[in-house]
């Protein structure tokens, strides 16, 4: 049975064999045979390629991924960016009293709370 370190090394080696992937795009962590992939790639194809390459490695029990696809020229909005945009929209609305609304943003999901 392979150790987590051996699995990690094998996954990283497998990713290096994929010409479409750059060696510094994908981070690899392993815990009890579960591989966590993280990083930023510029296409959905590369995200899927990294997952498929990882699943080929002996000893991998499961793959979890937090790979973000960021197309060149696109802008990924953070939760802070979204919250600022919501607050700005509320401020400029003549039909809403923005002082009575609290905004919460988590994982790009906006929740508005009415305060008294």
The edge-to-edge listing of strands for the beta sheet with 62-69 is 26-31, 34-41, 62-69
CB within 8 Å of 86: residues ≥ 6 apart? 103, 105, 110, 112
% pLDDT > 70, the chain: 97
What confidence category does residue 97 fall into, taking pLDDT thresholds of 50, 70 and 90? confident
How confident is the model at residue 42, as a pLDDT? Answer: 86
Residue 74: is its pLDDT beyond 80?
no
Statement: residue 15 has pLDDT above 90: yes
State the chain's mean pLDDT as an integer: 89
Statement: residue 113 has pLDDT above 80: yes
- What is the per-residue pLDDT across 20-40, written as a single tens digit (0 to 9) for each? 887 678 999 999 999 999 988
What are the structure tokens assigned to 116, written together? 């008294």
Residue showing tokens 């790009």: 108
> How far is residue 82 from each of residues 22, 40, 70, 79, measured CA to CA in Å?
30, 20, 17, 5
């Amino acid at each position: 049975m392979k150790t987590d370190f051996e699995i990690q090394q094998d996954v990283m080696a497998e990713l290096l064999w994929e010409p479409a992937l750059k060696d510094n795009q994908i981070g690899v962590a392993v815990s009890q045979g579960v591989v966590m992939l993280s990083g930023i790639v510029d296409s959905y194809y590369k995200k899927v390629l990294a997952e498929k390459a990882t699943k080929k490695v002996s000893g991998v029990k499961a793959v979890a991924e937090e790979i973000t696809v960021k197309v060149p020229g696109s802008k990924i909005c953070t939760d802070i960016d979204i919250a600022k945009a919501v607050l700005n929209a509320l401020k400029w609305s003549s039909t809403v009293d923005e002082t009575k609304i609290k905004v919460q943003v988590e994982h790009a999901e906006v929740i508005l709370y009415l305060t008294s």
